[in-house]
């Protein structure tokens, strides 16, 4: 279903136009607009010596995809081909590339590993029945960040579309849930900025991105735009829910974290002891002055009263990365 929706969204490109591009680390980043001027998404692309132009694009609410075009090809609109994507010798995607216009192929991406490989890799090879293309991935992390900034900028300037996803229950009136495709890139960037390694990021589910750190700590992230509610109230509701889920001894605390620039930070700490095991959860809500609310959580076992909970350390590292990227 997701792939069909994504291909449908990309089919709009047959009647779209591109605004002026700006260069980010050698990639042309620009918004996609329909003939009527409506915002559709953003793209990053680069040209190569053989005449191939390739890159990535994102349609809000749908996801990322690889794009390839070459005027010398003999591919007609509607053509489909099996495609495999290899980054630094490792296959990161297998799927079907579709020509949404003559000599223009689109391959939807699935899974967190593909996004991370594209950000960190050196070279990518795309193999199809039409042939293979080898591309440099230099500067992709900065360009992917710019694509997300592009999407956020144009979405905030347009009337907010209603969201059907509810990662933390129904959002307050006027708030818009950030799509999982955008949250995935945000999470990948934050994990890298926090200096963490050896983690596994799962594909987005209901616009929430979850991960498992090398030490077994579970974490996750969701976000909302145009949030004008009170994180304090959300923190209280969250504690009530977690208390109801605990079948043993439950304790909790919440506290504000002072900042100097108007950012609101609320932290919820809970512990549930069942069958002699103490599980601790750390949830941090960061509300920026522009109305962006980032919700982070980390949970794991605490092996002893004298030890520093690994989940607490992970939470602090990620929160520092969030505050550093304002």
Query: Are 182 and 320 members of one domain?
Result: yes
Percent of the chain with pLDDT over 70: 77
**Do the domain assignments include residue 247?**
yes
* Helix or strand holding residue 153 (H, E): helix 140-156
Residues pairing with 58 in the sheet: 42, 64
**What gap in Å lies between CA 193 and CA 320, rounded to an integer?**
9
Mean pLDDT of the chain: 76
Domain-located, residue 218: yes
Top pLDDT among 3 and 84 is at 84
159 assigned to some structural domain: no
Strand partners, 30: 43
The two three-digit tokens of residue 154, written as one number = 């144009």
13 and 133 co-located in one domain: yes
Describe the crossing of helices 140-156 and 180-193 by its angle, rounded to 10 degrees.
130
Q: Are residues 132 and 203 both part of a single domain?
A: no
- pLDDT of 88 higher than 90: yes
Give backbone dihedrals phi and psi of 240, rounded to 5 degrees, phi first: -60, -45
CA distance 12 to 33: 10
Tell me which of 115, 145, 175 is where a domain ends: 145
What pLDDT digit, counting tens, does each position of 122-146 carry?
Answer: 999 888 886 778 888 888 888 887 7
Query: What confidence tier does 2 reach under pLDDT thresholds 50, 70, 90?
Result: very low
H/E element, 252: strand 249-257
Residue 190: phi, psi to the nearest 5?
-65, -40
Q: Domain containing 44 — which CATH number?
A: 2.60.40
For position 91, what pLDDT does the model report? 92
Q: Mean pLDDT throughout 276-305? A: 80
> Rounded CA gap, 72 and 104, in Å?
11
Of the listed ranges 39-53, 202-216, 223-237, the least confidently predicted one is 223-237
Same-domain status, 173 and 121: no
Tell me: do 314 and 184 sit in the same domain. yes
253: in domain? yes
In a domain, 71, yes or no: yes
Q: What is the pLDDT of residue 34?
A: 64
The pLDDT of residue 12? 36
- Residue 219 pLDDT more than 50? yes
Give CA–CA dist 59/7, Å, rounded. 10
Same structural domain for residues 98 and 216? no
Determine what percent of the chain is predicted with pLDDT higher than 90: 5
- Angstrom distance (rounded) from CA 93 to CA 111: 8
- Nearest CA to 32 out of 70, 7, 58 is that of 58
Q: Which residue has the tokens 């990309």?
A: 10
Contact between 123 and 87 under an 8 Å Cβ cutoff? The reply is yes
Question: Where do we find the tokens 């960040």?
Answer: 145
Shared domain for 93 and 189, answered yes or no, is no
Residues 122 and 205 in one domain: no
CATH number reported for the structural domain that contains residue 207 in this entry? 3.40.1000
Q: Give the integer Cα–Cα distance in Å for 218 and 209.
A: 11
Task: Verify that 206 and 174 share a domain, yes or no.
Answer: yes
| End position of a domain, from candidates 145, 177, 192 | 145
Q: Does residue 133 share a domain with residue 185?
A: no
Please state the φ and ψ torsions of residue 34, each to the nearest 5 degrees: -75, 170
Domain span including residue 81: 2-145
- For the stretch 19-59, pLDDT in tens is 556 778 888 888 877 656 677 778 888 887 678 888 888 87
H or E element, residue 93 = strand 90-101
**Residue 236: per-residue pLDDT:** 74
Q: What are the tens digits of pLDDT across the range 102-123?
A: 888 888 887 777 878 888 889 9
Q: What is the pLDDT of residue 6?
A: 34
Task: With beta carbons less than 8 A apart as the criterion, state whether 200 and 211 touch.
Answer: yes
Residue 86's pLDDT is 93
Which residue is associated with the tokens 């390739």? 54
The pTM for the full model equals 0.53
Q: Does some domain include residue 177?
A: yes
pLDDT for position 85: 92
Statement: residue 208 has pLDDT above 80: yes
What pLDDT, in 10s, does the model give residues 3-19?
Answer: 332 333 333 333 444 45
Domains in the chain, number = 2
Q: Please indicate, yes or no, whether residues 169 and 314 belong to a single structural domain of this protein.
A: yes
pLDDT band, very low/low/confident/very high, at 90 (cuts 50, 70, 90) = very high
In a domain, 201, yes or no: yes
The answer to whether position 154 is within a domain reads no
pLDDT of residue 164 exceeding 80, the answer is: no
Q: Which residue has the higher pLDDT, 82 or 130?
A: 82
For residues 139-160, give the mean pLDDT: 70
């Amino acid at each position: 279903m997701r792939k069909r929706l994504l291909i449908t969204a990309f089919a709009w490109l047959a009647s779209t136009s591109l605004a002026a591009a700006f260069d980010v680390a050698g990639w042309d980043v620009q918004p996609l607009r329909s003939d009527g001027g409506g915002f559709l998404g953003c793209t990053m692309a680069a040209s190569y010596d053989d005449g191939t132009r390739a890159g990535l694009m994102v349609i809000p609410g749908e996801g990322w995809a690889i794009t390839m075009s070459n005027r010398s090809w003999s591919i007609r609109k509607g053509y489909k081909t099996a495609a495999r994507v290899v980054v630094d010798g490792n296959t990161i995607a297998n799927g079907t590339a579709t020509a949404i216009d003559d000599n223009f192929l689109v391959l939807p991406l699935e899974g967190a590993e593909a996004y991370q490989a594209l950000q960190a890799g050196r070279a990518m090879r795309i193999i199809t029945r039409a042939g293979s293309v080898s591309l440099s991935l230099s500067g992709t992390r900065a360009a992917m960040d710019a694509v997300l900034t592009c999407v956020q900028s144009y979405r905030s300037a347009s009337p907010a579309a209603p969201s059907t996803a509810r990662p933390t229950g129904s959002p307050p009136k006027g708030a818009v849930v950030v799509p999982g495709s955008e949250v995935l890139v945000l999470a990948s960037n934050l994990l890298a900025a926090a200096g963490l390694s050896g983690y596994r990021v799962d594909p987005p589910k209901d616009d929430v991105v979850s991960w498992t750190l090398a030490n077994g700590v579970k974490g996750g992230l969701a976000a909302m735009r145009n949030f004008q509610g009170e994180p304090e109230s959300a923190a209280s509701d969250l504690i009530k829910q977690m208390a109801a889920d605990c079948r043993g001894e439950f304790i909790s605390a919440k506290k504000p974290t002072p900042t100097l620039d108007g950012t609101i930070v609320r932290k919820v700490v809970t512990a549930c002891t069942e069958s002699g095991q103490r599980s601790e959860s750390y949830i941090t809500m960061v509300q920026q002055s522009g109305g962006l609310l980032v919700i982070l959580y980390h949970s794991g076992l605490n092996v002893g009263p004298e030890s520093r909970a690994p989940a607490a350390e992970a939470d602090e590292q990620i929160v520092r990365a969030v505050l550093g990227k304002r």
